[in-house]
Amino acid sequence: MIKFENVSMRYGPGLEALSKVSFEINRGELVFLTGHSGAGKSTVLRLVLALETCSGGSLMVAGKRIKGLSKSELALHRRQIGAVFQDHQLLFDRSVGDNVALPLQIAEFPHREIKRRVRAALDKVGLLHKETYSPAHLSGGEQQRVGIARAVVNRPRIILADEPTGNLDPELSVDVLTVFEQFSAVGVSILIASHDGVLLSQFGHRTLTLDQGRLSSHG
């Protein structure tokens, strides 16, 4: 589903975030991506989401080469990916429910269908009772879970998560990862960037370790 072949990413002369990284994630696989901060974890996720273009190598997602996609193809590409961002990236001028509805609205789902799916997704992260709240009135952990609900609401083929448990207490972290596991069980490929060693060992999925832009372990 995701295939990196000798992917390099340079932000400028001497600023190499990734160098010749190769790995592959299959359909329905849940993979952890770990490493120190600045090792290039976020860069990997940004490349898959096509928020940036790699400077070397080849990157295939869902059978398509990312390089050379047109603007509208890029938009469609991003719609098949559910992304959980480290800083949540929620819109504070609309309710929790409307935030979660955004991917469905963008994909132009019918009104009623949107309502139904939003409630299901919020229920999954245990926030159904806060549907009408503003994200501003939610704790960091709750905002994180709204972000997760938004990532899964469109039933994407790929889920990318950048430190999805960063703001959650251990118990909730396990809950959230269990949600991700449920998705991988039905065929969704999942890549989770995290440096929460305890959690990683607890779940025991394949782990990719990045060290200064190089893949040091394929797990």
* Residues in contact with other proteins by the rule CB under 8 A: 49, 51, 71-72, 75-81, 83, 85, 89-91, 93, 102-103, 105-111, 113, 150, 154-157, 186-188
Nearer to other proteins, 19 or 80 (CB): 80
107 burial (CB, 10 Å; 0-12 / 13-18 / 19+) is middle
Nearest by Cα to 155 from 130, 132, 187: 187
Q: State how far the Cα of 150 lies from the Cα of 152, in Å rounded to an integer.
A: 6
- Which residue(s) pair with 208 in the sheet? 33
Q: How many other C-beta atoms are found inside a 10 Å radius of the C-beta of residue 89? A: 12
Nearer to other proteins, 111 or 218 (CB): 111
Nearer to other proteins, 125 or 199 (CB): 125
* Min CB(212)–other proteins separation in Å: 26
Q: State how far the Cα of 145 lies from the Cα of 175, in Å rounded to an integer.
A: 10
* Min CB(177)–other proteins separation in Å: 19
* Min CB(162)–other proteins separation in Å: 12
Nearer to other proteins, 72 or 171 (CB): 72
* Min CB(59)–other proteins separation in Å: 17
